[in-house]
Amino acid sequence: MAIPNIRIPRRQLFIDGEWREPLKKNRLPVINPATEEIIGDIPAATAVDVDMAVKAARNALRRDDWGSTTGAQRAKYLRAIAAKVQEKKNELATLETIDNGKPWFEAASDIDDVVACFEYYADLAEALDSKKKTEVKLHLDSFKTYVYREPLGVVGLITPWNYPLLMTTWKVAPALAAGCAAVLKPSEIASITSLELGEICREVGLPPGALNILTGLGHEAGSPLVSHPDVDKIAFTGSGPTGINIMTAAAQLVKPVTLELGGKSPIVVFDDIHDLDIAVEWTLFGCFWTNGQICSATSRLILQETIASKFLDRLLEWTKNIKISDPLEEDCKLGPVISHGQYEKVMKFISTAKNEGATILYGGERPQHLKKGYYIQPTIIVDVDTSMEIWREEVFGPVLCVKTFKTEEEAIELANDTKYGLGAAILSKDLERCERFTKAFQSGIVWINCSQPCFWQPPWGGKKRSGFGRELGEWSLENYLNIKQVTQYVCPDEPWAFYKSP
């Protein structure tokens, strides 16, 4: 399939169903991480633009064309968005690649997931109609109680740069399905496809204000959104420090938040694996997919020492065979990291590991054949101690660190030796052992004999410093619903008889 050669559309902020120039008229450059060239710009919102967007969202909830819709009516909009995204798949995938740096076929796969996710939440929106009012059985016949499920209100959605349109969809689709009105603030580092979602919403006739999209810097647009008194909830995916700031600001208004804050996930490989090459490939995929920029990356390989030498030899052979190139090239399997700042951050992690006594088994440098772009070789680090930074901190780049173990108990201790708790993987043909590890892993997600598969039906989220709350599945829809108890006294002609009649 030919990859389209396209220009970045010049968009404004998407507020109340229209494109509007930021009040301060500021814009931010868009840099292609594969070429380091400025290829366009995006609008930069500030607090005044945030206020306009929140007002538009609040007004949408008051109007019949959005605030009074049934789930079935909202489902039609979600399916129309899905169809339009499918129609523009190649264009959106290309925009994602030149903005984010991920290989084109990965971006195209992300767009497929975007389509499926909108369709899935359209189904849940329809099903919500039958669950909107649910009776609760009581022990007293004189009362009847039921529960209303209603939209939470205006929600602020803040999304990361590693899966720009997909992470946006993970929040936008359930928020709209629930009947909320949303203000989306995507990462300023990769916002192009999120802005294109605004154009898609305009084309399908989504009611004005149901979804508003503000690009811009975190402290200029994200912070005012979090602290806005008319925003009823914040959903955030991103870094731990930013998550702490968001939680602190939201606490001042007792505003609910859901947070997904990354991880340092383990992959434990036992010597009874079904096939060495299969295990090696899952290990590589678990860390190097999406250029290593995955919150759930299984970047700590915990390897049984009886197969360590043989496994690492084969791991090296596979790693050397990974095609690193411009992400628009056919069969590219590793593109650049997102930005110069991220490139410097990852390279510092690697140099610190060397300074602390670890050994760079492979990689750790710029590929020699690529003179431009933020490329880093896939990197494997051994001789790692648990006190080292490379073991403890999230790198968010194509870097895998390795430790060995003898016993199950040692493997579990190493796996849980982290402040994070997003994902964990085990590779073993002993299914009873896999079950033991499933229970022992301190994480929100467990993969058995694989790493990183992600579907829209099961829940996604972590524990410890990886955050709290769940996205995807029915669990995400619940994030955007208010549960209202309604209790009725069904004997109005009979006195309650608590007080003595005068």
> Would you please indicate which residues are annotated as catalytic (active-site) residues?
260
Residue closest to 294 by CA, chosen among 389, 386, 172, 395: 395
- Coil, helix or strand at residue 109: helix
Q: How many CB atoms lie within 10 A of CB 409?
A: 10
Cα–Cα dist 430/52, whole Å? 57
Cα–Cα dist 113/127, whole Å? 21
Q: Within 13 Å of residue 173, how many CA atoms lie on the same side as its CB? A: 31
Residue closest to 53 by CA, chosen among 12, 82, 94: 12
Copy the structure tokens of residue 435: 């079950």
Copy the structure tokens of residue 450: 């694989």
Long-range contacts of the stretch 413-418 (C-beta < 8 A, 24+): 414/266, 414/268, 414/300, 414/302, 414/386, 415/266, 415/268, 415/300, 415/302, 415/440, 415/441, 416/266, 416/440, 416/441, 416/442, 417/386, 417/391, 418/263, 418/264, 418/266, 418/300, 418/392, 418/464
Copy the structure tokens of residue 252: 């001042």
Copy the structure tokens of residue 217: 């810097």
112 close to 455: Cβ distance less than 8 angstroms:
no
Q: Supply the angle between the helices 89-100 and 164-178 in degrees, to the nearest 10.
A: 120
Q: What is the full DSSP assignment across 387-433?
A: TSHHHHS---SSEEEEEEESSHHHHHHHHT-SS--SEEEEE-S-HHH
Cα–Cα dist 349/362, whole Å? 15
Q: Which residue has the tokens 């598969």?
A: 453
